[in-house]
Structure 1
Amino acid sequence: MPRRRSTWGTNESAGRGYRRLRYWADEHDGRGYARHSKTIQGTRRDGDEELARLRVLHSEDGPVPTLRQAYETWWLPDVMARYDAGEMSKNSVANYRSKWNKHIAPVFGDMSVADVTPLDISEWVTGMGSTTATLAMNVLRQVLDFCVLYGFIDSNPASARIRLPRAEKSTRDKSVYDIAGLTAAIESVRGTLAYIPAILCGIGSCRLGESMGARVDDVSSIELNGMTVAIVWVRRQVDRNGNVSARLKTKTSERPVVIPEPWSLEVLRARDASEDGWLCGDGVGGTLPQWTVRRDWKGAELPVGMSRIPMCNLRNTWRTIMRWELGVPEDMCERMMGHAGKNVGEIHYDRPREEYFADVVSAAWCRWRKSKP
């Protein structure tokens, strides 16, 4: 018997009083909009009636992307455009993509976005670490936001009130030095690979990667408030493996850092002695991996009674000393750290020159030294 077609689906004999119905629909089984087959017992009329019922249920169904398709079509191009515009760092992009590959794609990648539910997401984050769950949720929420934008789903299931794993109590050392401690710690690494980076981080506010990316032509000097001040422009950074990148953490991270005496004289001597163009290079034209600097920092002997803080805490030390020991106003500290600011004036209109930074820093150190007996 020939197959009988309707205007929606097909109704054909399956032998011995059975009918086989075929139709396109989204059955919310994770496959999205796909072809389905259903066998019923009955006559041709029974088959037509069942097709009519299915049509009422699925007449508005249409192709719905899988989460992987949404990720590749909208989320990933958007993130790469933001990266190219300098709005995201290379590490942030790599971190987000890692969360997709390791945690999201294996569970939801091939699922229709219309079938992802808050309960699915709640069960998925169970057992994850707090940081991993937070980052993975951010990526999932952003991908599903595009699906809401383009009308494939009415609301974002990842925006429901989903309880994330609680953060474990941090065991990271958050210690900082005062001026005396910082001076002693820097002196303890004199003659090592960590010496100039420690000065740029603890006296100049640099992140470690920023301190290792300075070239000799980024360094200049100026006489202010009775001292020689070194000005080092932060324009690039070096990663843990020694690779150089012109892309800093944020746009405002490009800035001049100010080094007062006596450390400014050490920085200027290092600049004049460099033979490969790098302030903290390997001596043969290349850059050092971060681990070599951290190794020398950790291995140096400190005065009795002192403990070594992590090198990344030197930037925190700079901020604490500038604000609480040297009395520099908070908004100036934020600007010198390369933070964007919070109000319209700070973000769009405040554009201090390097001389202003140098004057503020040198004057603060002069006041502090005069206050000491």
Structure 2
Amino acid sequence: MARGRPATPLGTWGEINVQALEGGRFKAETRLRLWNGKAVRVQARGKSKTAATNALKAKCTERLGASDTEVLTTTSTVKDLLAAWIETKTAVRPQTRDRYNNSIELHIVPAFGGMRLNEVTPAYLDTWLQAQPPGIGANIRTVLKGAFVMATRYGLIASNPMAVVRPVDVQQKEVRALTVEEIPIFRKQIKKSGNETLIDVVDFVLATGLRAGEVLGLVWSDIDLDAAPPLLRTSGTLTYSSENGHIKQGRGKTGAAARPIQLPAVAVEIVTRRKEVFGVLDMIFPSGAGTFIWENNFNRWLRDARGEQFKWVTIHSLRKTLGSIVADQLGPHKAADVLGHTDSRLTERVYYQRNYQGVPIGDVVDAVLPLSKKSPNNTQKVADTPTTDRSTTTGEQDR
């Protein structure tokens, strides 16, 4: 049986053929065996035979730093890479896929989707990414990082250009929440709307710290008024995606989202009262059509009712308000448990409004550093100091 010509070993090229072209230039050509076994023809040109040969060898060496797949090649476009990458994201939530697709279709592809993978440089990506608005830059970076990791893993590029791109510089805003003094004023403002559902949701979030999707997705089975104390156990959150529409999914935003929350008296009163009116429906806060309220609609109600003084308040601000109160009283770890965070550092950084009135340490310090009995003058000063003012301040601060 006749044998064919032995195959060129992986990662090498065959005989180099050089031919003269018009104008005194030369073309070098060979067949290169890629690491995936595929053989490709490679050409290069130069002013001399030696220049053309050296250029061809350099091109082959560069090509061996990457390899083609059945779908993508080293010269595929960024758009092709992103299309292949998004197809691998089958385990993410549908709404997350929507965010990825928005970044791809609205920002990345219009900007440089036609560039070939071997043309994309870290310098280009870094410059472009840093120029994006902070609100979308982080999500875009997540998409690009994931896509180019896949390209590197498949051998389409020799190294990941996103590995050295700087993180998007997002300026951390100072946490703003309602103070203890502002809470009753804000509640009075909201009550002017006459929208009972809005009023109850606002009070319920202030009392429990639930996310918007969690509170609007509450059903009666989430509440156990017979427990001592009464408990709320979160069972998921409302989400929207182009794939599934507006639904309640059975898992929360984080792994710590499924949590029990003790219901304060104001929350118990809301649930008890609404049970008499809406008990025949599944949801505690139904829309006029007897369905789950869309978060966009609730946000519009809140904007219309909050007034000029509280135009900065969102449902997220209400979560921060309870988070700050609980953190002052019980510490950031307990606040993280209530808010459904997996790490209390997030709670401290994003949900805790700093205490600008001073931490009430007076009683603590006085207990360990008592005044000397040999100092009657100092004792007189302490006696003349109205201790009730400090205790009042402490009480207000700790609430």
Query: Post-superposition shift, 1:77?
Result: 4.2
Mapped partners of 2:344, 2:205: distance in 1: 24
- Counterparts of residues 51-70 of structure 1 (less than 5 Å): 52-60=53-61, 61-62=63-64, 63-64=67-68, 65=73, 66=76, 67-70=78-81
1:169-196 CA deviation, whole Å, 9 max, x = no partner? 85xx953224453345345436522123
Q: Does 1:212 align with 2:212?
A: no
- Counterpart of 2:247 in structure 1 is 244
What is aligned with 2:338? 336
Specify the alignment match of 2:86 in structure 1.
76
Q: Is this contact kept in 2: 1:23–1:35, CA < 8 A?
A: yes
Q: With structure 2 as the length reference, what TM-score do the two structures score?
A: 0.63
TM-score if structure 1 supplies the norm length? 0.67
1:281: Cα distance to partner?
A: 0.8
Deviating 4+ runs (over 4 angstroms): 6-25, 33-42, 49-55, 161-164, 166-170, 238-242
Q: Show the counterpart of 1:29.
A: none
1:308-319 maps to which residues of 2 (within 5 A)? 309-319=313-323
2-structure distance, mates of 1:39, 1:322: 72
For residues 339-350 of structure 1, the aligned pairs below 5 Å read: 339-341=341-343
Q: Is the 8 A contact 1:215 1:277 kept in 2?
A: yes
Counterpart residue identity of residue 71, structure 1: L
Q: Residue 297 of structure 1: which of 292, 295, 302 is its match?
A: 302
Q: Which has the higher contact order (CA 8 A, sep 6+)?
A: 1
CA gap 1:256/1:55 in 2 versus in 1, 3 angstroms: same
Hey, what's the Cα distance between the residues in 2 that align with 1:157 and 1:99?
A: 18
The Cα of 1:107 is off from its aligned counterpart by 4.3
The whole-number CA distance in structure 1 between the counterparts of 2:284 and 2:133 is 40
Note the residue ranges of structure 1 that are not aligned, 5 or more in a row: 1-5, 26-32, 84-88, 344-367
Structure 1 SS opposite 2:281: coil
Over the matched positions of the two proteins, sequence identity in percent amounts to 15
What corresponds to 1:99 in structure 2? 103
Q: Are the counterparts in 2 of residues 194 and 296 from structure 1 also a CA contact under 8 Å? A: yes
- Decide whether aligned partners of structure 1 residues 24 and 206 sit closer, same or farther in structure 2, where only a CA change above 3 A counts: farther
Cα deviation 1:185-217 (Å, max 9, x = unaligned): 345436522123213311111111211001122
RMSD over aligned Cα atoms: 4.2
1-structure distance, mates of 2:46, 2:227: 92
Question: Are positions 1:231 and 2:227 aligned together?
Answer: no
Structure 2 unaligned blocks of 5 or more? 1-12, 33-38, 346-391
Question: What's 1:361 paired with?
Answer: none
Q: Compute the displacement of 1:218 (Å).
A: 1.9
Letter in 1 for 2:82: Y
Alignment partner, residue 126 of structure 2:
122
Give CA-to-partner distance per residue, 1:94-149, whole Å, 9 cap, x none.
22332222332344434443332122223423642234333323322222222333
Alignment of 1:176 onto 2:177: yes
